[in-house]
Structure 1
Amino acid sequence: MRSAGPCRRWWSARSTSRSDPPHARDAGVVTAEAAAAIPALVFLALGLVWALMAAAAQIQCVDAARAGARAAARGEPAAGVRGAALAAAPRGAAVTVARDGDLVRVRVRAAAPGPGPLSLDLGGEAVALAEETVR
Structure 2
Amino acid sequence: MTAETAVVLPVLVVFAMALVWGLLVVAAQIQCVDAARTGARAAARQDPVGAVVEVAREAAPRGARVTVSREAGLVRVVVVADPPALHGLPFEVREEAVASVEQTVGAAPAGAES
Same-fold call, TM cutoff 0.5? yes
**Does 2:36 match 1:77?**
no
Equivalent of 1:88, from 59, 63, 66? 59
Task: Please tell me whether residue 110 in structure 1 is matched to residue 69 in structure 2.
Answer: no
Aligned to 1:125: 96
Tell me the SS of whatever aligns to 2:103: helix
Extract unaligned runs of 5+ from structure 2.
110-114
Structure 1 residue 40 displacement after superposition: 0.4
Matched with 1:62 is: 33
- Distance in structure 2 (CA, Å) of the matches to 1:120 and 1:105: 22
Structure 1 residue ranges without an equivalent (≥5):
1-29
CA distance in 2, matches of 1:109, 1:67: 14
Aligned to 2:61, the other structure's residue is in SS state coil
For 1:116 and 1:84, locate their aligned partners in 2 and report how far apart those are by CA, in whole Å.
Answer: 25
Q: Deviations over 1:25-78 (max 9, x none)?
A: xxxxx1100010000000000000000000000010011000000000111000
Q: Larger Rg: 1 or 2? A: 1
Deviation at 1:119, TM superposition (A): 5.8
Which of the two has greater helix per residue? 1
TM-score (norm 1): 0.74
Deviations 1:97-119 (A, max 9, x none): 01111000000000011224446
The alignment's TM-score, normalised by the length of structure 2, stands at 0.87
CA RMSD, aligned part only? 1.6
